[in-house]
Copies of this chain bind each other. A is one copy, B any other.
Amino acid sequence: MGSRHISLKDLARELNISISTVSRALKDHPDISREMKEKVKKLAIERNYTPNPLAMGLLKQETRMIGIVVPDLVTHFYASIISGIESVAKENGYFAVIASSNENIIKEKESIENLLKARVEGLIVCMSRETNTTDHFEKLVSRDIPLVMFDRVCLGDKIPAVIADNADASQKIVEHFYAKGYRRIAYVSGPENLSISKERMKGYWAGIKACGITPDENLVENCDLTFESAKTAMNRLLQLPNPPDAVYGINDTVAFGLMKAIKEAGLKIPDDIGVVGFTDEFHSVVVTPALTSVTHPTFEMGQQIAQLFFKSLTPGFQAETLIVKTQLVERESSNKSQS
């Protein structure tokens, strides 16, 4: 099977010199003569020598691997953030090892354990939607394992994090609806244990207040972030004696579910009901009508996450939470014909 890799020993034997000389020559140690260095380097290239990271890792007690745990791999949001993390990791000579929790708390814990067993040097995690306890994160902190969280976060005073300006963005959505002439603005939120749910909810109410709208608890619904549960939530809203004329979904998948339910009820978007999402998945432009949504700069967010991770490795680092600016991209789904 796998071709034998060339080792320092192989090179040393071939040149009839000691292993340490080869090692030093390859890293330009001042003690080694110019000719010797050239001879060794030439052969190393010829034989396609690459240092064995396992040996180095064992010796230096480092693996140069970062473990990433995300709720899923197939959502553009996570995939793009991972790309960003990876790009910075690579620059720093690190590998990203990725595991998916499949939105499941058990698998989240397992993934973390497995990555630790594999000796990653630290973790970057976005909580699953089921995660309603934080002891497994506390344990990481107390074991001094480098950890950065993003998007769905917890324990902000102890764990460095990168999140969106959720409350702000949320408030702006309500204000956008209001400016477009919508008045009964509903919100379909996610599981209450998630920080994004709490923060976006806060922003929603702030927006309602800022617009001088009479708050109506009935206009707030919950779902478990799936397409189907969003449809169900929307159907409940449509049953209301006084149904909404606008609805904001906590993310795009949810917004698509809302749209589906609205269309199935025979209502028109944006004239009967306006819709806005959050995250700006690729399909936002492809759906009809095109979905107004909040854009995360996902790739850059990934880069910031990785940078924060490396920063957290430096001695004396204090946990901090980075807030990333988002932008509301107005499209057709919230563009009511003014009457």
* Residues on A facing B (Cβ under 8 Å): 1-3, 5, 50, 52-55, 57-58, 61-63, 73-74, 76, 79-80, 82-83, 86, 90, 95-100, 114, 116-119, 121-122, 143-146, 256, 259-260, 282-283, 286-288, 313
In whole angstroms, what is the CA distance A106 to B205 when docked? 50
Q: Does A54 lie within 8 Å of B95, measured CB to CB?
A: no
In whole angstroms, what is the CA distance A79 to B287 when docked? 21
Which of B1, B116, B282 contacts A283 (CB under 8 A)?
B282
Which of B74, B83, B143, B286 contacts A286 (CB under 8 A)?
B286
- Tell me how far the C-beta of A59 lies from the nearest C-beta in chain B, rounded to whole angstroms: 9
Beta-carbon nearest neighbor of A102 in chain B: B83
In whole angstroms, what is the CA distance A99 to B82 when docked? 11
- Tell me how far the C-beta of A331 lies from the nearest C-beta in chain B, rounded to whole angstroms: 13
Report the copy number of this chain in the oligomer: 2
- Tell me how far the C-beta of A298 lies from the nearest C-beta in chain B, rounded to whole angstroms: 9
In whole angstroms, what is the CA distance A259 to B287 when docked? 11
Beta-carbon nearest neighbor of A86 in chain B: B100
Q: Which residues of B contact A98 (CB under 8 A)?
A: 96, 98
Q: Does A144 lie within 8 Å of B74, measured CB to CB?
A: no
25 A-B residue pairings within 8 Å (CB atoms): A1-B144, A1-B313, A2-B144, A2-B146, A3-B143, A3-B144, A50-B117, A52-B58, A53-B117, A54-B57, A54-B119, A58-B58, A74-B76, A74-B83, A74-B282, A79-B79, A90-B114, A95-B97, A95-B118, A256-B286, A260-B286, A283-B283, A283-B286, A286-B287, A287-B288
